[in-house]
Structure 1
Amino acid sequence: MLNMNFLESLSLPYHADHWQPSPANGVWRYPLEREQAESGHVTSLVRFEPGARFPEHLHPMGEEFWVLEGVFSDENGDYPAGTYARHPPGSRHGSFTEHGCTIFVKLNQFAIDDNQWVTVLPEQQLWISGSAGYRRLPLHHHNGVHTSVLHFPDGGTFPACCYKGGLELLVLTGSLTNTTLAARDTEFAIETSPENSTEKNDTFDRLSWLRFAPGSQPHLQVAADTQLWVRTGHLSPLS
């Protein structure tokens, strides 16, 4: 297992040398959460070299992804950078790319009754502007779990509250500073444990990933022109 204790808050800066080869030639993984080696709950970055393919596979409890770079493809079509998609439990596909791509993907994390197919292409994005200094792009919600992208054109403070169901962030562009706790970098080949963590600085650039345990009240300062993929309410609620 890797980072599967959801009562533990993690702040992981991106390291370009932490990519690992997958069973498919030309497909690389950057694991963030992993229940088992090739099955179960998985959160990761995945990079396809030009022309790479991943064989057809089943998503027992669903798959969702955000395309970070390039064009990701399957038998249903092409997904350019900035696309968000959800394939419900029981779906399957074979994936490939012509010119190369990188995606953020979460596997086997759907609720059993969440069977909605979702594809939000860049030209379909409906941003909502608020008074708090950021724009919000709603992507999906189900049973108290909300997924969106936040854009801070001029920087600012991430919405502060008690996230009773937890909070997860991926830095898509820009950077943020976590003033809640010292950043802890859990090495990829090492299973999650406090003694294997080392302190780093508390600024997180593109592709950094943060997860806050249920009940957390994070304090995050966001740099100008930063976009964050955000999920709330999906971790075990406080009893």
Structure 2
Amino acid sequence: MLIRADFSRRAAVAPQQYQWVASPQPGVERVMLDRVGGEKARATSIVRYAPGSRFPAHEHPGGEEILVLSGSFSEGGTSYPAGWYLRNPPGSGHQPSSEEGAVIFVKLRQMPAGETRSVRIDTRDASRWTMQGARASCPLFTSPGECVSIERLPAGARVFSGPVGGAEMLVLEGSLHEGAQQYGRCSWIRLPPGEYPEFMAGGTGATVYLKTGHLAGAAC
């Protein structure tokens, strides 16, 4: 299965374009944002858990990255409410579930084999944030191959200060603009390596999940 699998091209999905597809587990649905492979795939998705739904225990050979968008997501007896960022390295395993229901942003099989760090960050913790002028940043993960953060931008602020080795964004609050094009809350955008000086926060500002650098050598 190939969905937006040419990483040399732009891709964008607005919430009104979401197509929810049932997963193999009852009560769990997903929006496939990009995908290379079948049920076990390199994939970026929005996943929705109905209350009381769960997956059986399983491993992630290529790692898994999660941002909890709403509700509460659980694994290993620990619950993570909206705002938590989880990173499970290659070879790790878990048994995910949600008693109250949850919506999460998930990236699968996109980590190098040598990555070993397990990350758990509560982005609601004010101590995690740093100010850069009027812009606030919550760093989530940094390596030679990628940088992941949540950025809180004032109105009119540019997202990028220079060229990037590819970028991926999920608008969490507010909106982004690129010229006349607007990307509202819950919009997902993927950009190949290049320069994007026209990407700016909208009139009420924007809070954005931002990953850069990871597409510099990406191929279908």
Report the 3-state secondary structure (helix = DSSP H, G, I; strand = E; otherwise coil) of the residue aligned with 1:15.
helix
Matches within 5 A, 1:18-29: 18-29=19-30
* Aligned equivalent of 1:176: 176
Larger strand percent:
2
Kindly tell me: are residues 150 and 89 of structure 1, through their superposed partners in 2, closer, same or farther at Cα, counting changes over 3 Å?
same
Unaligned runs of 5+ in 2: none
Moved more, 43-52 or 7-16: 7-16
User: Is the alpha carbon distance of 1:124 and 1:36 closer, same or farther for their aligned partners in structure 2, counting shifts above 3 Å?
Assistant: farther
Counterpart of 1:174 in 2: which secondary structure? strand
| Contact 1:169-1:228 at 8 Å conserved across structures | yes
Q: Give, as a single letter, the amino acid of the residue that structure 2 aligns with 1:172.
A: L
Decide whether aligned partners of structure 1 residues 120 and 17 sit closer, same or farther in structure 2, where only a CA change above 3 A counts. Answer: closer
CA RMSD of aligned residues (A): 1.8
Q: Which has the higher contact order (CA 8 A, sep 6+)?
A: 1
Residues 160, 196 of structure 2: 8 Å contact kept: no
Query: Shift of residue 123 of structure 1?
Result: 3.0
1:229 corresponds to which residue? 209
Aligned to 2:189: 210
Assess if the C-alpha contact under 8 Å between 1:166 and 1:237 holds in 2.
Answer: no
The 1-side partners of 2:217 and 2:78 are apart by: 37
| One-letter identity of the residue aligned with 1:126 | R
Where does residue 198 of structure 1 map in the other structure?
Answer: none
Show the 5 A alignment for 1:1-239. 1-15=2-16, 18-121=19-122, 122-123=124-125, 126-131=128-133, 133-163=134-164, 165-179=165-179, 202-223=181-202, 224-237=204-217
Q: Percent identity?
A: 36
Relative distance call for 1:43 and 1:125 in structure 2 (3 A) is: farther
- Displacement of 1:219 in angstroms is 1.6
Q: Rate the CA distance shift 1:233–1:17 in 2: closer, same or farther, 3 A.
A: closer
- Alpha-carbon distance in 1 for matches of 2:216, 2:53: 37
CA distance in 2, matches of 1:159, 1:57: 37
CA contact 1:6–1:236 (8 Å) conserved in 2? no
Instruction: Give me the whole-angstrom Cα distance separating, in 2, the residues matched to 1:145 and 1:56.
Output: 28
DSSP 3-state at the match of 2:100: coil
Once the two structures are superposed, residues 12-70 of structure 1 have per-residue CA deviations (whole angstroms, 9 ceiling, x without a partner) of 22226511111111111011111112112110000001111112221001001000001
Decide whether the 8 Å contact of 1:54 with 1:94 is kept in 2: yes
- The CA distance in 1 between the partners of 2:5 and 2:36, in whole Å, is 7
Q: Which residue of 2 aligns with 1:183?
A: none
Runs of 4+ in structure 1 displaced over 4 angstroms? none
Unmatched tracts of structure 1, length 5 or more: 180-200
Q: Secondary structure at the match of 1:23?
A: coil
In 1: Cα distance, 2:100 partner to 2:136 partner: 31
Q: Give, as a single letter, the amino acid of the residue that structure 1 aligns with 2:210.
A: V
Aligned AA for 1:170? L
Distance 1:169 1:15, change over 3 A: same
